[in-house]
């Protein structure tokens, strides 16, 4: 029997109100130990008995004692499955095809799982349609293991049972049946046949249900223009591979324009084949990723773009377009001439949020009957309607909405009129938000349904007409979450699971007799026969529409008029989405926060980009401080009376004068760890869902510290880093002229650097010899390789403060170089022409000029990882032989051997070695993902997690090459070309990074190595790298 | 790296042998098998119980036991039970055994009752069994041999105990006598010495301590000889360095580590006595980097029907008994498995309440070393025993090899790559062996010593 005796250690404990006893229950001491008082006081510190030497002795002794005591190994437990799932072999990865469809990113992908944990996103090579995994999708696997995710449903901020939530919603919906009040469903774009059917079912069951689709970053103008012309709410599809000439009016189509996914086709057209490559003309305000890749980039205000577009239409159409100015006539003439020459091989696109501009572009492409333009099978990945959303808000404010269910959206954060929405929310009787994370909207509603991450969900997507993808769970729900569709099915009283519901939809209207299991395994399904039929039907429709052409023409005339008369006053703001953050859904993802913007190279921030001229006028600047970090001033932005105070400024070379840019996706505060609460919320300025706004900018006090990993300086004509030429020279001249081998002096003779060798070479012809090819023409700088490398190699996230100190850990960086002249050749010639120190051609002033990235610089991207030099400078200086060379060409790094002298990093001419300044895992100072059990689930078990004090670097994914070799050995077969992959090469859908065995003569990489465009980085150093680059060729041929 | 083996061996051996000598009187037990001899001929109905046993084990034992319910009912005295309870004769049994589904179909009441009771799983039809075979089996089921061996073993034990002690006593006596003799000799010597001194004193002879005053003490001489001091110091330092090095090299090397596991799993019984292939249970060793601790469903493949341990034919050995490894002990461990996997023995069903077993990991490679089992097992065809030692003799699993890098590398240096019939190696082996001028390449020559092959 249990005893009720009470024991005490001190009489005071018998007094229940004793404060000291209470304090001691919680703490070891009643008062805090005055550590700070002691350590903070210099005098006391210097008068202490323990001087520095004694202190070191104590430390030494205690370390030795501790390490001796630690000699006993720990007891490690090993817990096998009770029942091993049939398809899991511990230690062997399984791949599942699934689809990401979060309303912003849509792509068919493969998920690598280990022991049931998804750990990596790969491209689904069977998917021919839609984008491949971009940086955000690559990073999305970490969002699954986000420790700040919602772990169960909530009611008014308190955890609640699902049954309660469902019963409440069901009762409310039942009560509203037949009443005048609406039940509104506000969701992301699903592009899902099954969810569409489900919504229709919901409407059928309860006729006051309205389904409103809302895209945080709207493509409303393009959707409206398409709908007006073709009668369907969708987006035209483009295949840039088929275009010889691409003219873009502010469309960032390499990044997220109209849902993205165009970069792979674009890149294929950019690689010179048989002397031909596509030509790309970009007219834009911000320096975008697309503009950075253009052959010709014209920096201009959005208002000017509209005028030029209208005039171009007139020129092509043969009609005269008025307008207020003849300023752009020369430009329009030259573009029109080029387009006419290219004919149906040209394509025009625009990113202007203007229905007229979008309509004009559709008309031009139709007129050209552009081969790259597809309206028969349009894309469905944006559906959001501004009109419907605004109507809903009006209804809410008027009290006409009885219940509001939201899924996949965060309107309180992302609506420009969020205040109105919040006001409306208060008048809705029942508000439910389905979300994976606690955010601004979940905070404002009554009930929160914790939803699944897409890797835990079922789903289907029709990215493009006739092209379907399936989403399947790759892990069981980590928390007590349900996906929205499951809850809706339960609300409808259906016993069916959403999986069965999808299967039903597919067998009745998609598969057409094809095998469901096969479709699920492939992840993609194309209804080929159907497409042909529909295409025929579409053509018929177009043909029958001819009589209405007149109507269309009159509306087109008014569109042109309104475009041509666009005027601008003051500064213009162009809002855009960053490659890393997109619309901000994954703001809690440390990989994406630390991902440096391809253009500005700034991580952990958004900022106003401003041209140099405007910056001087406003008196704002960027300065580089002594530790290499970049600082900037703040400005205040005001659009239509809405202001953002204290937005940091980045002076952006190439930014059109009179314009500023600001990216979406930042400035989230609710539900995020403190480190992730970065930047400002640009959605506040997204007035009327238009990314182009008239803005007033004024300087405010303060200094902002950026975490920028590369300065905004130019290459200064150092063409041996990025070699660049024009298509004309490339086609007509010998490669020795445009891809010069650097010369060095040997015995007072000029000889090619490749012929001089300080070391004895090893015979590398036997076995595998890995090489990596990077084509600077195909690389768009999109950065999905950077995140893929992060995921594959357990690269730690270090945080903003550390990045600022140049301690970023990216094994693979994409350098961005500016060039002050129109071409790099120009810089070279200028540099070579320097004569003496001062004077007109003096190098003193000359280099200063080169250092200034002019108004519209040329940009080049260069992915740089460890070059795996055959004569590696790092290997010779390591005092402990921690880094050594393998027969297969890889420069190997034995972390457990490294003592952290950092000699190798000092001796590396490419600066690719990274030092672990701290222990980044299990360290709460680095509160990202490696310090909690959940975040650690993303780690690749085949790669070491490095500790403090060692150098780490790209291993050329030796774990992957070794696995490929082992698989072949086990099967007893020869390895085919294409089997060897690294994380970056398999992530690169653009074909810029190709990896393989050069000793296999038939391999693609061997062929690429023999190309005339091949060069090594800093060839004159004689390091003989195993990574080589291809000279960038620009198509400067004006028509 | 060189391992310094058994530094303390000498003192250990000394100590151990002393203990052994003192305690060697404990009983040694000789084993005698008496289990099978008890098979009794069944009187009723005829049939050879011995043949029946063989047939039973061959055909029935997977689903039936004599004295307990398994997938099917207990079969002890099945015939008499049936005739008493249900009034069914041997003919019914013939029909049932040869084709049970047909009997069920015919609407037979008892057959359908059985069918319903055992989860509607019909018994496999045995059309190949003749009536005589069935007679034999029934004879075996009627013979009830179950309880006999235990008592027999008990008898053997007590008998063996007696005989064992006799040999122990003789050793002790001899030793005791020797000690006594030595003791006597010492005492005698001392006495003689004392007597002699007394005689000398009595005779007035002073026994001089020779040169005690003149000679410098030996330690002083040593201290004065600098050369000797230096040499000794160096030797001492070298010696202690040698021992320190040896000690430090064994830090983190857990050779011989044999933790106590939550379930006493005997590799000796499974891999040794029953000769189960290693990779039957550790199947992922063929394709994966880990050999995998088998999941409990793999255990249940056999242990669904093997519910008790009946020992090896000779009965438990002396050593086993000392450690408490009795049949009951092992059966208890099987019950632990049932508890972990959630197996309800009574109803032959999984309860769904499982409790994963937390094994203590024996072989721990550090995280920075990559090792792949399939490379060694499937590609190189290395026997498991090469690294894991004589697992089939291990009652308790222990770490046989040091698992140090030096140990890995030694093997890579010496072992030839197995290239026969592996197309992957064809080209590279031909070229490399020509280059090195050898017939067979070692793993090291193929790049098996590169840091990056195991450390990434």
Which residues 358-397 in chain B show a CB within 8 A of chain A?
Answer: 358-361, 364, 366-370, 372, 374-375, 378-379
Q: Do B447 and A82 touch (CB under 8 A)?
A: no
Q: Do A943 and B364 touch (CB under 8 A)?
A: no
In this structure, the answer to whether residues A166 and A226 fall within a common structural domain is no
Q: Which of B375, B431, B453 sits opposite A766 (nearest CB)?
A: B431
pLDDT tens-digit readout, A804-847: 988 999 999 999 888 876 666 666 676 666 666 666 666 666 66
In this structure, the answer to whether residues A373 and A394 fall within a common structural domain is no
Range in A172-181, A194-203, A435-444 with the lowest mean pLDDT: A172-181
Residue A743 in this model has a pLDDT that exceeds 80: yes
Per DSSP, the three-state class of A892 is: strand
In this structure, the answer to whether residues A351 and A407 fall within a common structural domain is no
In this structure, the answer to whether residues A961 and A834 fall within a common structural domain is yes
Q: Which of A673, A708, A743 is the last residue of a domain?
A: A708
Residue A207: which CATH number?
Answer: 3.40.50.740
In a domain, A90, yes or no: no
Please tell me which residue, A758 or A996, carries the higher pLDDT value.
Answer: A996
pLDDT tens-digit readout, A1005-1021: 999 999 999 999 988 88
Residue B248 in this model has a pLDDT that exceeds 90: no
The three state secondary structure string of chain B is CCCCCCCCHHHHHHHHHHHHHHHCCCCCCCCCCCCHHHCCCCCCCCCCHHHHHHHHHHHHCCCCCCCCCCCCCCCCCHHHHHHHHHCCCHHHHHHHHHCHHHHHHCCCHHHHHHHHHCCCCCCCCCCCCCHHHHHHHHHHHHHCCCCHHHHHHHHHHHHHHHHHHHHHHHHHHHHHHHHHHHHHHHHHHHHHHHHHHHHHHHCCCCCCCCCCCCCCCHHHHHHHCHHHHHHHHHHHHHHHHHHHHHHHHCCCCCCCCCCCCCCCCCHHHHHHHCCCCHHHHCHHHHCCCCCCCCCHHHHHHHHCCCCCCCCCCCCCCHHHHHHCCCHHHHHHHHHHHHHHHCEECCCCEECCCCCCCCEECCCCCCCCCCCCHHHHHHHCCCCHHHHHCCHHHCCCCCCCCCCCHHHHHHHHHHCECCCCCCHHHHHHHHHHHHHHCCCCCECHHHHHCCHHHHCC
Residue A454 in this model has a pLDDT that exceeds 50: yes
Residue A657 in this model has a pLDDT that exceeds 60: yes
Please report which confidence band the pLDDT of residue A634 belongs to, taking 50, 70 and 90 as the band edges.
very high
Instruction: Residue A893: list chain B partners with CB under 8 A.
Output: 451-452, 455-456
Residue A164 in this model has a pLDDT that exceeds 80: yes
pTM for the complete prediction? 0.83
In this structure, the answer to whether residues A802 and A911 fall within a common structural domain is yes
pLDDT tens-digit readout, B47-83: 778 888 888 888 887 778 777 777 778 888 888 888 8
Please report which confidence band the pLDDT of residue A66 belongs to, taking 50, 70 and 90 as the band edges.
confident
Please tell me which residue, A729 or A321, carries the higher pLDDT value.
Answer: A729
Whole-angstrom distance, CA of residue A861 vs CA of residue A859? 7
Contact present, A450 and A480 (Cβ < 8 Å): yes
Please tell me which residue, A186 or B84, carries the higher pLDDT value.
Answer: A186
Residue A439 in this model has a pLDDT that exceeds 80: yes
> Residue-wise over A53-83: b if at least 16 C-beta within 10 A, else e?
eeeeeeeeeeeeeeeeeeeeeeeeeeebbbe
pLDDT tens-digit readout, B255-266: 889 999 999 999
Q: What is the pLDDT of residue A33?
A: 59
In this structure, the answer to whether residues A613 and A503 fall within a common structural domain is no
Residue A690: which CATH number?
Answer: 2.40.40.20
Instruction: Residue B287: list chain A partners with CB under 8 A.
Output: 89, 92, 970
Q: How far is A68 from chain B (nearest CA, A)?
A: 9
pLDDT tens-digit readout, A468-482: 999 999 999 999 999
CB half-sphere exposure, A1017, CA atoms < 13 A: 26
Question: From B426, which residue of chain A is nearest by alpha-carbon distance?
Answer: A974
Q: Which of A79, A90, A884 sits opposite B292 (nearest CB)?
A: A90
In a domain, A777, yes or no: yes
Determine the Cα angle at A8 with ends A7 and A14, to 5°.
Answer: 115
In a domain, A936, yes or no: yes
In a domain, A322, yes or no: yes
Tell me the CA distances in angstroms from A5 to A2, A8, A9, A510, one per residue in order.
9, 10, 13, 74
Q: Do B296 and A945 touch (CB under 8 A)?
A: no
In this structure, the answer to whether residues A930 and A808 fall within a common structural domain is yes
In a domain, A716, yes or no: no
Residue B16 in this model has a pLDDT that exceeds 60: no
Q: Mean pLDDT score of chain B, rounded to an integer? A: 80
Please report which confidence band the pLDDT of residue B2 belongs to, taking 50, 70 and 90 as the band edges.
very low
Contact present, A441 and A409 (Cβ < 8 Å): yes
Whole-angstrom distance, CA of residue B156 vs CA of residue A785? 74
In this structure, the answer to whether residues A910 and A894 fall within a common structural domain is yes
Terminal alpha carbon distance of chain A: 99
Q: Which of B293, B298, B456 sits opposite A944 (nearest CB)?
A: B456
Q: Which helix (H) or strand (E) holds A204?
A: helix A193-205
CB half-sphere exposure, B447, CA atoms < 13 A: 22
Q: Which of A330, A358, A379 is the last residue of a domain?
A: A379
Please report which confidence band the pLDDT of residue A735 belongs to, taking 50, 70 and 90 as the band edges.
confident
Residue A797: which CATH number?
Answer: 3.30.70.20
Please tell me which residue, A283 or B218, carries the higher pLDDT value.
Answer: A283
Residue A875 phi/psi, 5-degree rounding, is -65, -35
C-beta atoms surrounding A263 within 10 Å: 26
* Rounded average pLDDT over A28-43: 61
Interface test with B, best of A70, A81, A897, A960 (most B CBs within 10 A): A81
In this structure, the answer to whether residues A859 and A1006 fall within a common structural domain is yes
* Rounded average pLDDT over B28-56: 55
Tally of structural domains, chain A:
5
In a domain, A280, yes or no: yes
Class of domain B40-144: mainly alpha
pLDDT tens-digit readout, A859-907: 899 999 999 999 999 999 999 999 999 989 999 999 999 999 999 999 9
Look at strands A571-576 and A659-663 and give their pairing. parallel
In this structure, the answer to whether residues A791 and A654 fall within a common structural domain is no
ipTM of the complex: 0.82
Tell me the CA distances in angstroms from A157 to A153, A421, A446, B74, one per residue in order.
9, 20, 8, 59
In this structure, the answer to whether residues A603 and A750 fall within a common structural domain is no
Q: Do B452 and A890 touch (CB under 8 A)?
A: yes
In a domain, A550, yes or no: no
Q: What is the pLDDT of residue A542?
A: 40
Residue A282: which CATH number?
Answer: 3.40.228.10
Residue A520 in this model has a pLDDT that exceeds 60: yes
Q: Which helix (H) or strand (E) holds A421?
A: helix A418-427
Question: Residue ranges of the domains in chain B?
Answer: 40-144, 218-249, 267-402, 404-456
Q: Provide the domain limits for residue A361.
A: 221-379
Q: How far is B16 from chain A (nearest CA, A)?
A: 25
Instruction: Residue A969: list chain B partners with CB under 8 A.
Output: 375, 379, 422, 424-425
Q: Which of A78, A89, A969 sits opposite B424 (nearest CB)?
A: A969
Please report which confidence band the pLDDT of residue B7 belongs to, taking 50, 70 and 90 as the band edges.
very low
Q: Residue A574 pairs with which residues in a beta bridge?
A: A661, A692
Q: What is the pLDDT of residue A42?
A: 65
Chains A, B: CB contacts within 8 A come to 157
Contact present, A146 and A589 (Cβ < 8 Å): yes
Contact present, B250 and B3 (Cβ < 8 Å): yes
Q: Do B379 and A962 touch (CB under 8 A)?
A: no
Which residues 410-449 in chain B show a CB within 8 A of chain A?
Answer: 421-428, 431-432, 435, 447
Q: Which helix (H) or strand (E) holds A99?
A: strand A93-101
Kindly state whether B122 is in contact with chain A, defined as any CB-CB distance less than 8 angstroms: no
Residue B318 in this model has a pLDDT that exceeds 80: no
In a domain, A74, yes or no: no
Q: Do A896 and B288 touch (CB under 8 A)?
A: no
In this structure, the answer to whether residues A823 and A694 fall within a common structural domain is no
Interface test with B, best of A764, A766, A792 (most B CBs within 10 A): A766
């Amino acid at each position: 029997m249990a005893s009720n005796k009470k024991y005490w250690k001190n009489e005071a404990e018998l007094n229940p109100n004793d404060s000291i006893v209470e304090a001691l229950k919680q703490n070891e001491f009643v008062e805090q130990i005055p550590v700070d008082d002691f350590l903070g006081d210099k005098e006391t510190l210097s008068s202490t008995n323990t001087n520095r030497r004694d202190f070191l002795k104590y430390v030494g002794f205690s370390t030795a004692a501790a390490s001796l005591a630690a000699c006993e190994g720990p007891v490690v437990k090993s817990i096998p499955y009770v029942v091993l799932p049939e398809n899991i072999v511990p230690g062997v990865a399984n791949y599942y095809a699934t689809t990401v469809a979060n309303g912003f990113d849509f792509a068919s992908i493969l998920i690598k799982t280990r022991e049931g944990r998804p750990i990596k996103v790969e491209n689904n090579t069977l998917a021919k349609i839609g984008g491949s995994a971009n940086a955000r999708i690559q990073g999305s696997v970490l969002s699954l293991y986000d420790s700040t995710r919602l772990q169960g449903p909530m009611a008014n901020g308190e955890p609640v049972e699902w049954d309660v939530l469902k019963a409440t919603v069901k009762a409310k919906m039942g009560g509203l049946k037949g009443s005048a009040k609406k039940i509104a469903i506000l969701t992301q774009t699903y592009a899902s046949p099954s969810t569409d059917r489900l919504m229709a079912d919901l409407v059928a069951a309860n006729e006051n249900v309205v389904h409103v689709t809302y895209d945080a970053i709207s493509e409303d103008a393009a959707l409206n223009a398409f709908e007006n012309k073709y009668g369907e709410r969708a987006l035209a599809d483009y295949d840039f591979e088929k275009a010889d000439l691409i003219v873009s009016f502010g469309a960032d189509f390499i990044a997220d324009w109209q849902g993205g996914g165009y970069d792979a086709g674009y890149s294929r057209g950019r690689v010179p084949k048989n002397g031909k490559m596509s030509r790309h003309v970009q007219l834009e305000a911000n320096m975008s990723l697309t503009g950075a890749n253009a052959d010709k980039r014209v920096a201009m205000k959005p208002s000017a773009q509209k005028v030029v577009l209208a005039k171009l239409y007139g020129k092509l159409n043969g009609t005269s377009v008025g307008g207020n100015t003849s300023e752009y006539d020369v430009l329009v003439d030259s573009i029109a001439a080029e387009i006419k020459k290219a004919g149906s091989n040209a394509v025009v696109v625009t990113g202007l949020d203007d229905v007229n501009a979008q309509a004009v572009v559709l008309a031009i492409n139709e007129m050209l009957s552009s081969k790259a333009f597809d309206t028969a099978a349009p894309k469905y990945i944006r559906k959001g309607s501004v009109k419907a959303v605004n109507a809903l808000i009006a209804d809410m404010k008027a009290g006409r909405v009885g219940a509001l269910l939201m899924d996949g959206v965060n309107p309180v954060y992302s609506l420009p009129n969020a205040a109105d929405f919040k006001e409306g929310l208060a008048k809705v009787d029942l508000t439910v938000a389905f979300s994976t994370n606690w955010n601004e909207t979940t905070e404002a509603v009554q009930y929160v349904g914790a939803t699944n991450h897409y890797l835990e969900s079922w789903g289907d997507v029709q990215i493009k007409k006739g092209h379907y993808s399936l989403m399947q769970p790759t892990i069981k729900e980590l928390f007590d979450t349900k996906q929205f569709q499951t809850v809706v099915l339960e609300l409808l009283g259906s016993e069916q699971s959403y999986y069965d519901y999808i299967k039903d939809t597919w067998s009745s209207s998609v598969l057409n007799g094809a095998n469901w299991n096969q479709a699920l395994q492939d992840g993609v399904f194309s209804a080929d026969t159907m497409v042909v039929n529909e295409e025929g039907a579409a053509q018929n429709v177009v043909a029958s529409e001819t009589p209405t052409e007149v109507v269309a023409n009159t509306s087109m005339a008014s569109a042109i008029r309104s475009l041509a008369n666009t005027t601008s006053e003051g500064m213009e703001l162009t809002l855009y989405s960053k490659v890393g953050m997109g619309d901000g859904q994954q703001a809690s993802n440390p990989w994406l926060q630390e991902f440096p913007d391809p253009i500005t190279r700034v991580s952990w921030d958004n900022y106003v980009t401003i041209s140099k001229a405007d910056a001087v006028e406003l008196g704002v600047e960027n300065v580089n401080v002594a530790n290499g970090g970049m600082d900037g001033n703040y400005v205040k932005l005001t659009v239509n009376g809405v202001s953002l105070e204290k937005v940091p400024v980045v002076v952006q070379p190439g930014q059109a004068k009179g314009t500023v840019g600001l990216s979406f996706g930042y400035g989230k505060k609710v539900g995020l760890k403190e480190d992730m609460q970065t930047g400002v919320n640009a959605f506040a300025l997204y007035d009327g869902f238009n990314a182009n706004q008239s803005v007033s900018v004024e300087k405010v006090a303060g200094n902002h510290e950026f975490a920028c990993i590369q300065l905004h300086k130019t290459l200064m004509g150092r063409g041996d880093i990025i070699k660049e030429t024009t298509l004309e020279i490339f086609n007509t001249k010998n490669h020795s002229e445009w891809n010069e081998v650097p010369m060095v002096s040997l015995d007072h003779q000029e000889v090619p650097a490749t012929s001089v060798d300080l070391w004895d070479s090893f015979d590398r012809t036997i076995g595998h010899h890995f090489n990596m090819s990077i084509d600077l023409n195909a690389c768009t700088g999109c950065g999905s390789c950077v995140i893929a490398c992060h995921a594959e190699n357990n690269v730690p996230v270090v945080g903003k403060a550390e990045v600022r100190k140049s301690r970023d850990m990216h094994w693979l960086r994409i350098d961005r170089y500016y060039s002050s002249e129109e071409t790099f050749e120009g810089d070279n010639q200028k540099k070579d022409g320097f004569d003496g120190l001062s004077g007109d051609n003096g190098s003193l002033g000359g280099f200063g000029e080169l250092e200034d990235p002019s108004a519209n610089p040329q940009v080049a991207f260069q992915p740089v990882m460890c070059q795996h030099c055959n004569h590696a400078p790092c290997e010779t200086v390591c005092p402990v032989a921690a880094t050594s060379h393998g027969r297969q060409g890889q420069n190997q790094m034995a972390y457990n051997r490294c003592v952290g002298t950092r000699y190798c990093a000092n001796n590396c001419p490419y600066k690719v070695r990274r030092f672990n300044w701290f222990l980044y895992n299990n360290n709460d100072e680095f509160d990202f993902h490696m310090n909690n059990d959940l975040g650690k689930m993303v780690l690749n078990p085949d790669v070491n997690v490095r500790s403090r004090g060692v150098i780490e670097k790209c291993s050329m994914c030796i774990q992957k090459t070794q696995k490929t070799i082992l698989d072949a050995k086990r099967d007893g077969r020869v390895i085919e070309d294409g089997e060897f992959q690294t994380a970056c090469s398999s992530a690169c859908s653009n074909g810029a990074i190709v990896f393989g065995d050069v000793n296999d003569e038939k391999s693609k990489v061997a062929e690429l190595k023999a190309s005339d465009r091949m060069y090594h980085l800093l060839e004159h150093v004689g390091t003989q790298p195993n990574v080589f680059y291809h000279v960038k060729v620009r198509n400067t041929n004006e028509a | 790296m060189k391992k310094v083996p058994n530094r303390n061996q000498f003192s250990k051996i000394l100590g151990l042998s002393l203990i052994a000598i003192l305690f060697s009187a404990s009983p040694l037990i000789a084993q005698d098998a008496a289990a099978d001899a008890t098979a009794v001929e069944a009187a009723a109905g005829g049939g050879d119980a011995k043949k029946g046993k063989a047939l039973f084990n061959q055909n029935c034992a997977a689903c039936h036991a004599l004295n307990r319910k398994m997938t099917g009912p207990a079969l002890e005295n099945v015939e008499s039970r049936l005739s008493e309870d249900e009034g069914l004769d041997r003919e019914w049994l013939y029909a049932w055994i040869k084709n049970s589904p047909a009997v069920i179909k015919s609407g037979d009441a008892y057959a359908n009752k059985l069918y319903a009771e055992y989860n509607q799983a019909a018994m496999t039809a045995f059309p190949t069994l003749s009536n005589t075979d069935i007679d034999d089996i029934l004879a075996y089921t009627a013979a009830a041999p179950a309880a006999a061996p235990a008592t027999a073993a008990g008898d053997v034990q007590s008998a063996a105990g007696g005989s064992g002690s006799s040999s122990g006593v003789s050793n002790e006596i001899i030793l005791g006598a020797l000690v006594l003799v030595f003791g006597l000799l010492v005492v005698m010597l001392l006495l003689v010495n004392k007597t002699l001194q007394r005689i000398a004193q009595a005779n007035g002879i002073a026994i001089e301590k020779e040169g005690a005053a003149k000679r410098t003490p030996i330690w002083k001489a040593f201290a004065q000889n600098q050369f000797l001091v230096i040499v000794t110091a160096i030797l001492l330092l070298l010696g202690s360095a040698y021992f320190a090095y040896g000690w430090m090299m064994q830090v983190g090397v857990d050779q011989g580590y044999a933790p106590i596991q939550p379930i006493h799993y005997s590799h000796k019984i499974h891999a040794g006595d029953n000769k189960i292939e290693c990779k039957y249970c550790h199947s992922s060793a063929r394709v994966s980097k880990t050999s995998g601790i088998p999941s409990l469903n793999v255990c249940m493949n056999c242990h669904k029907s093997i519910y008790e341990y009946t020992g090896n034919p000779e009965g438990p050995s002396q050593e086993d008994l000392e450690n408490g490894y009795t049949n009951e002990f092992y059966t208890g461990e099987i019950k632990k498995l049932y508890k972990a996997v959630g197996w309800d023995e009574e109803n032959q069903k999984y309860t769904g309440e499982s409790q994963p077993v937390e094994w203590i990991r024996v072989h721990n490679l550090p995280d920075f070393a990559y090792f792949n089992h399939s490379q060694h097992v499937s590609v190189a065809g290395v026997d498991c025993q090469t690294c894991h030692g004589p697992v089939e003799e291990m009652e308790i699993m222990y770490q046989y090899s040091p698992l140090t890098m030096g140990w890995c590398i030694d093997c890579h240096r010496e072992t030839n790559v197995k290239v026969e019939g592996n197309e992957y190696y064809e080209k590279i082996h031909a070229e490399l062996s020509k280059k090195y001028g050898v017939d067979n390449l070692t793993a090291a020559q193929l790049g098996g010593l590169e840091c990056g092959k195991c450390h990434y």
